[in-house]
């Protein structure tokens, strides 16, 4: 569904923040993009959504193809019209508007009244708390509720691919688990997700495959289950201790059990 090849992004005359990045998102499931602050995750999302120029950057090289069509330099409105919708980092909702009005804004590109009503029913089924607060101003919602609303507003546009940028940022562990379950449910309902996360434990628990960015380059990729057992991922992103012998980190198959993926606890 989404194919990125050799992508480079720069801001002004500085060195590129992304260097020859390539990744792919299939027509189903969740793909996680992991990395620390400054790895280039947000710049990649901006490139895909067409918003890099709004932040003073340019796509310097490479290709971004969505459903077979080149979008590397398309404007954001065209990207959304094609069905590629982003939920940006930071829970950006329209604070003075009610929950219902925020959802109406998300459905602005959907012409069918029946389709809008169906989408609203679906997001209220997914987020019952929003149904309870549908006439409440978004700015008075809790942080977790605002994140629910940001995702729900994006789903109102009936996306073909959903980009989620750091949806768990700043949320309590209980809410992080809820966000993870929401991502699973969205994918089960047929909308593939490209999930950008610093919370590697949550991301790898819901993703089918994953990529790890460091300093603008993909340094690891593969099935999420395999990456969750990688010594490097466990040490750097899951906060686990990895035993090291004289030859370095222990190798698979040395007879010792490999720790399972770290889980959030209440």
What is the mean pLDDT of each successive set of 10 residues along the chain, which is 266 residues long?
A: 96 91 95 92 94 94 96 94 91 93 93 92 95 96 94 96 92 90 94 93 94 94 91 76 48 34 29
Determine the pLDDT at residue 254.
36
pTM of the model: 0.86
Determine the pLDDT at residue 243.
56
Determine the pLDDT at residue 94.
94
Closest CA to 254 of 264, 245, 241, 263: 245
Residue ranges and CATH numbers for the domains of the chain are 1-83+162-172+192-266 (3.40.50.300), 89-158 (no CATH)
Determine the pLDDT at residue 148.
93
CA separation, residue 84 to residues 28, 31, 52, 146, 196 (Å): 14, 15, 15, 21, 15
Determine the pLDDT at residue 79.
95
Determine the pLDDT at residue 251.
36
Determine the pLDDT at residue 242.
57
Determine the pLDDT at residue 191.
96
Widest distance between CA atoms in the chain: 66
DSSP string, the chain: -EEEEEEEEEETTSPPSEEEEEEEE-SSSEEEEE--TTSSHHHHHHHHHT-GGGGTEEEEEEEEEETTEE-TT--HHHHHHTTEEEE-TT----TTSBHHHHHHHHTTT---HHHHHHHHHHHHHH-HHHHHTTTSBGGGS-HHHHHHHHHHHHHTT--SEEEEESTTTT--HHHHHHHHHHHHHHHHTT--EEEEES-HHHHHHH-SEEEEEETTEEEEEEEHHHHTT-HHHHHHTS-----EETTEEPPTTSSSPPPPPP----
């Amino acid at each position: 569904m989404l194919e990125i090849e050799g992508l480079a992004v720069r801001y002004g005359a500085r060195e590129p923040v992304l260097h020859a990045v390539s990744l792919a998102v299939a027509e189903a499931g969740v793909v996680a993009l992991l990395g620390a602050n400054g790895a280039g995750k947000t710049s990649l999302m901006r490139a895909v959504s067409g918003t890099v120029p709004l932040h003073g950057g340019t796509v310097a090289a490479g290709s971004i193809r969505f459903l077979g069509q080149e979008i590397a330099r398309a404007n954001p409105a065209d990207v959304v019209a094609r069905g590629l919708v982003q939920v940006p980092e930071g829970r950006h909702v329209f604070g003075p508007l009610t929950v219902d009005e925020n959802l109406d804004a998300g459905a602005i590109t959907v012409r069918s009244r029946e389709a809008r009503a169906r989408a609203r029913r679906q997001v209220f089924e997914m987020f019952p708390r929003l149904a309870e607060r549908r006439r409440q101003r978004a700015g008075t919602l809790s942080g977790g509720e605002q994140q629910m609303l940001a995702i729900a507003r994006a789903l109102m546009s009936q996306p073909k691919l959903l980009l989620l940028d750091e949806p768990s940022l700043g949320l309590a562990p209980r809410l992080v688990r809820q966000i993870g379950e929401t991502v699973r449910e969205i994918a089960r309902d047929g909308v593939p997700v490209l999930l950008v996360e610093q919370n590697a434990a949550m991301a790898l628990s819901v993703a089918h495959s994953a990529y790890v960015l460091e300093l603008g380059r993909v340094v690891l990729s593969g099935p999420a289950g395999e990456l969750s057992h990688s010594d490097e991922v466990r040490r750097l992103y899951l906060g686990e201790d990895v035993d090291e012998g004289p030859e370095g980190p222990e190798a698979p198959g040395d007879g010792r059990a490999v720790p399972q993926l770290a889980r959030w606890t209440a």
